[in-house]
Amino acid sequence: MRRLLLLLLGLLLLQQGRSFEFVIDGEWEEETSDPRDHRERHKRAILTSEEQEDFEAIRGEDITVKSYKVESRITSRFAHTTVRSSVVNSGSKAQSIGFNVQIPKRAFITNFTMNVNGIIFVGSVKEKTVARNLYAQARARGKAAGIVRANSQDMETFKTEVHVPPGSNIEFELHYQEMMHRKLGFYEHSLYLQPGRLVPQFQVDVYIFEPKGISTVQTPNTLGEKFADVIKVTSSKEKAHIVFKPNLQKQRKCDNCTGSAIDGVFTVKYDVTRDSNAGELQVSDGHFIQFFAPSNLSPLPKNIVFVIDVSGSMWGVKMKQTVEAMQAILDDLTIDDHFSVIDFNHNVRCWSEELVSGSTIQVADAKRYIQNIKPNGGTNINEALMRAVQMLVKASNQGLIDPRSVSMIILVSDGDPTVGEIKLSTIQKNVKRVMREEFSLFSLGIGFDVDYDFLERIAMENRGMAQRIYANHDAAEQLRMFYSQVSSPLLRRITVQFLEDSVSDVTQNRFDKYFSGSELVVAGKVLPSESNTLTSFTTASAARLDITLHTEGDFTELDTALAKQQHSFTGFARQMWAYITIKQLISERSLAPTAVKKRKITQRIMTLAVEHQFVTPLTALLVESEDTNERLLADSPKDPKHGCCSGAGVGGGSASSGLAPVRVVYQPPPWVQMTTEAPPSQAAKGPEEWTLPQQITLVDSDPHFIIHLPRSNMDVCFNIDSTPGHILSLVDDSGTGLVVNGQLVGSKQAHAGKLSTYFGTISVYYQPDGVSVTVGTDSIALMDGTNNHTFTWGATAHITQDGVRISIVKDSHVSIVINNNVQVTVLLHRVWKKNPANVDFLGLYIPNDNQYSPLVHGLIGQFSREPEVSVYNVHEGPDPLKKEATMEVKGNKLPVTRGWQKDYRHDKKHGSNVYCWFIHNSGKGFIDGHYTDYIVPNLNSFLQAL
């Protein structure tokens, strides 16, 4: 029996009085499963192409639509949209007037109000039991009316119908909220516009406020060339305003037409400015939101088993579109990826019994295999998935795949099982039993015969997500787009944690994977604290490296900024936390193992939805007149064909198995050195002080070298006067395979006829691991030959790869440790951006106890073998503050001057004085050879023998 999804807003005009009664008829969600045939239960009420063409936002025979206005306020990726329309019954008879709005499937309606001839109806969300009771009462009196709630590809339709006398004025107003999901590098906000008639006052306003800045705003021409010049975009660093306001003539299909040309989806795409890979931590209204969307990381290798349904129901356009999509998907594989293809009907066949490399030859052979598939027979999903898991397990056990790679199964099917194991719950248990923690399952359901609820459950339970593919002309593009979202995994095992007793009610904070172009989002409540700053710690694994990233959020800064914004959504953080929490609870509810557990989750959803006024599958919208004599009810019934308001993939990554968050208290990695013993609650703050010993050798500023000679207890200084662009060898140890080189950058202007030079880039290359760390004034790059990861100075981070550890302290310094016996610290100097002469530069600080081989050399490295130095004949010089003397070193007698240079470790602005003997002429006589002997061709080059 077909079950309709009903959202009913009925209004009856009683002839003897001005009394209105509103009732709802809907589908009530039961705790027990429906015993009827599951294939019938999962047919979907959708808009047919004819219904789509007939859709009108305002429906009526003889009416005047005075205005239709849409306003969206997007603040920090959370949107509040309001749709308003003012209508007059211009006819001579009473009639029903419809108000229809297509809203995104992921949105929650938050309110609906009407003003009917001065009678105002205001909405509030209640538990659904209220709607049940009123529904029963209304049906008992025979006064019920209904409108079908229909669904299209990405939208669902809210429909209202009100019966009013001639001359009546009606004002409709619908509110809904949604979180913007980042896909392929953009947030996309869609508004469905189909007024069905000319409207004198037609206007769409989209206001975007992103505290960290907006990097790009696009308005794809989805409504047609006719309106290309009507869409106006104004933007600044943090704000954007998009206006679509066509006049009556512009709305016409042709110059003399009375029909409206506005028919389609109005789309705004944008992305935000990110100054670091650590993400963005926003605190507002007692809540926090952590956004995490790193980039500039090398993708992890993939191991994919494509499991394709080739049963008889796939014949025709479905198979044609699947084959077309697979051709493009296979071409995306690289030589580092491994894959195979399983196709199944009543039998299961493997293109290759083992995973093979994504080489050109193997990809071409797989494409030919898929091209020749002829759909027929039944559907044996259970055996196909078992075979796919076995293939991944075998490859893993035999060590054929990289332990840091991402292993996934992508299932494409259009129907329910008909052969072998057909009980869905048993298939779900079978897959769960054999899937390893490091494997993920992604499900793609083609068409509407498939049990999408099952596909979603089995994917969510195995660290994946599901998506419906609509069986139309662009099904191949839908398949390709989905694959694009999961084809570039950058991180594994991501966890977001906080200091003890700083947060509560945290949403999912552990994610199995992060895919390029997406975004992970964690939200929660902020606990009272003496501090004005909240700190998060994100740990993750990338290709060959482990990362810990620190992010800070000010308690008051964002609220102060929001108060100054005219069109921002000031309550966004509170609503966004509730939105994410409810979505995740709905997902958790669908996986609840017992009825008791399900009821507890149900109660939590209802409590939150009522508190935050969200119409969910478990709540209803009660719309009452101001004197409560008239009422209307609207619900959001469960859609078993779409899945119950999917929470899978909230934030853009695949969830870990089980939705319960892990412990949110962060502990620093064991190798993070603390200069003083910190109390447990503060231990996560990391290395706030320098961990270098007091006795160091350094080079800073223009560039001034300070060489500390421990045996002589003496510091010796010299400058290098070279040319911008030159790369100098600082430490060169061919015995251990270590190189530290620095590239010079020049000042913007010459001073006294001389162009000052500084180190703009410093590179540390460790040959045995093939790892290179290149520190610039804008970013820190970690390369290992095949992978390239980039981090900015905008966040504190800890990174480990093989024997190399990197600690970045935000906007301060980076320390690089090689095999626990060599440490290099690079200090960042920032200058005023508009400074007419100076540039940003780097300082280098190296401990004297670094352990090198006897072969070490370089401008600094050579002094690990301390030369014999004597200073004598100390006397007054021309400058009474600077004595002069003679230094005997390496068989040379050098005139030296007593002076001082700066150590900026503890005071970056002024520095502290280091008194030293200064050697003139670029260290000639103190260094081996001439300074030009230390110029090397590349940042990773070893020094040629002197």
Residue (of 591, 582, 632, 637) closest to 612 by Cα position: 582
b/e map of 33-44 (b: 16 or more CB within 10 Å)? eeeeebeebbeb
Question: Do residue 344 and residue 230 come from a single domain?
Answer: no
Asked whether residue 421 carries a pLDDT value surpassing 60, the answer given is yes
* Burial class of 17 by CB neighbour count within 10 A (0 to 12, 13 to 18, 19+): exposed
pLDDT > 70? residue 810: yes
Q: What is the number of other CB atoms lying within 10 angstroms of the CB of residue 185?
A: 15
Residue 238 lies in a domain: yes
Confidence class for position 199, pLDDT limits 50, 70, 90 = very high
For the residues 409-427, what does the mean pLDDT come to? 92
Least confident range from 490-504, 526-540, 613-627, 645-659: namely 645-659
Whether the per-residue pLDDT at 678 is higher than 60: the answer is no
Residue type, 612: H
The answer to whether residue 7 sits within a structural domain is no
pLDDT computed for residue 671 by the predictor: 44
Query: For residues 6 and 387, which has the higher predicted lDDT (pLDDT)?
Result: 387
DSSP category for residue 659:
S
At residue 629, the pLDDT reads 54
Mean pLDDT over residues 356-362, rounded? 96
**8 A C-beta contact, residue 163 and residue 117:** no
What is the spatial distance between Cα 312 and Cα 851, in angstroms, rounded to a whole number?
Answer: 69
Which residues sit opposite 826 in a β-bridge?
814, 844
Q: Is residue 659 very low, low, confident or very high in pLDDT (cuts 50, 70, 90)?
A: very low
Pairing of strands 287-292, 239-244: unpaired
pLDDT for the residue 192: 92
**Stronger pLDDT, 337 or 30, i.e. the higher one:** 337
Question: DSSP 3-state assignment of 693?
Answer: coil
> Would you place residue 652 in the very low, low, confident or very high pLDDT band (cuts 50, 70, 90)?
low
Greatest extent of the chain over all pairs of C-alpha atoms, in Å: 119
Q: Predicted confidence band at 1 (pLDDT cuts at 50, 70, 90)?
A: very low
Shared domain for 320 and 463, answered yes or no, is yes
Burial (CB < 10 A; 0-12, 13-18, 19+), residue 785, is exposed
CB-based contact 552:281 (threshold 8 Å): yes
User: Who's near 944: CB < 8 A, 6+ residues apart?
Assistant: 936
Q: What pLDDT band is residue 24 in, cutting at 50, 70 and 90?
A: very low
Domain span holding position 923 = 704-764+831-936
Proportion of the chain above pLDDT 90, given as a percent: 61
570 inside domain? no
Q: In the block, which residue shows the tokens 């999901």?
A: 181
Q: Read off the pLDDT of each residue in 460-474 and give the average, rounded to a whole number.
A: 86
Check whether 401 has a pLDDT greater than 60.
Answer: yes
Whether residue 184 is found in the same domain as residue 308: no
Predicted TM-score (pTM) of the model is 0.85
Q: Are residues 221 and 349 in the same domain?
A: no
What are 45's two structure tokens?
Answer: 């009420």
Chosen domain end from 233, 255, 272: 272
Contacts of 663 (CB under 8 A, 6+ apart): 497
Average pLDDT over all residues of the chain: 84
Are 481 and 388 in the same domain? yes
Answer whether residue 462 is part of any domain: yes
Does residue 903 share a domain with residue 865?
yes
Instruction: Kindly report the CATH number assigned to the domain that includes residue 103.
Output: 2.60.40
SS3 772: strand
Q: Bridge partners of 822? A: 818
Q: Give the rounded percent of residues in the chain with a pLDDT score beyond 70.
A: 84
Between 832 and 641, whose confidence is greater? 832
Rounded CA separation 362/372 (Å) = 16
* pLDDT, tens digit, 9 for 90 and up, residues 336-349: 999 999 999 999 99
467 lies in a domain? yes
pLDDT at 152: 47
Q: Which residue has the higher pLDDT, 471 or 663?
A: 471
Residues 317 and 211 in one domain: no
Task: Tell me if 292 is assigned to some domain.
Answer: no
Identify which of 928, 938, 810, 803 has the alpha carbon closest to the alpha carbon of residue 861: 928
Collapsing DSSP to helix, strand or coil, 165 comes out as coil
Is 332 inside any structural domain? yes
Q: Are residues 266 and 153 in the same domain?
A: yes
Number of structural domains found in the chain? 3
What is the per-residue pLDDT across 728-767, written as a single tens digit (0 to 9) for each?
999 999 999 999 999 999 988 877 777 889 999 999 999 9
Q: What is the CATH number of the domain that holds 337?
A: 3.40.50.410
| Three-state secondary-structure class, residue 878 | coil
Structure-token match 């979603």, residue found: 456
> What pLDDT score does 695 carry?
73
Strand order in the sheet with 58-59: 58-59, 95-104, 155-164
Predicted pLDDT of residue 30 = 41
Least confident of 273-277, 393-397, 493-497: 273-277
CA–CA separation, 76 vs 294, rounded Å? 17
The pLDDT of residue 34 is above 70:
no
Per-residue confidence band for 387, with pLDDT thresholds at 50, 70 and 90: very high
For residue 906, the model assigns a pLDDT of 81
Q: Provide the Cα torsion 224, 226, 228, 230; round to 10°.
A: -130
Q: Are residues 250 and 136 in the same domain?
A: yes
Read off the amino acid at residue 374: K
Across 169-191, average pLDDT: 95
Quick check: helix, strand or coil at residue 681?
A: helix
Measured CA to CA, the distance from residue 851 to residue 834 in angstroms comes to 42
- Indicate the burial class of 844 (C-beta count within 10 angstroms; 0-12, 13-18, 19 or more): buried
pLDDT at 146: 27
* pLDDT in the model for residue 175: 94
pLDDT level of residue 54 (50, 70, 90 thresholds): low
Residue-level pLDDT at 675: 33
Provide the 8-state DSSP code for 816.
Answer: E
Q: Nearest CA to 151 among 53, 29, 81, 48?
A: 48
**Within this chain, do residues 397 and 255 fall inside the same structural domain, yes or no?**
no
For the segment 813-826, the average pLDDT, to the nearest whole number, is 95
Structure tokens at 407: 């292993």
pLDDT at 100 over 90: no
pLDDT tens digits, 711-732: 999 999 999 989 999 999 999 9
The predicted-structure confidence for 842-893, as pLDDT tens digits, reads as follows 999 999 999 999 999 999 999 999 999 999 999 998 888 899 999 999 999 9
Residue 665's pLDDT band (cuts 50, 70, 90): low
- Average pLDDT of 505-523? 95
Question: Could you tell me the pLDDT band of residue 686, with boundaries at 50, 70 and 90?
Answer: very low
Which of 453, 487, 521 is the endpoint of a domain? 487
Radius of gyration of the chain (CA): 34
**Average confidence (pLDDT) over 268-286:** 93
Q: Could you tell me if residue 610 is inside a domain?
A: no
Contact status, residue 588 vs residue 658, Cβ threshold 8 Å: no
* Residue 495 near residue 509 (C-beta atoms within 8 A): yes
- Average pLDDT value for residue range 595-612: 93
Residue 153 CA neighbour count, 13 Å, CB half: 15
The pLDDT value recorded for residue 657 is: 43
The Cα 888–Cα 886 span in angstroms is 7
Where is the domain boundary, 487, 521, 555?
487
Model confidence at 36: pLDDT above 50: no
254 and 369 fall within a common domain: no
The residue ranking higher by pLDDT, 509 or 255, is 509
Residue 343 and residue 260 share a domain: no
Predicted pLDDT of residue 5:
25
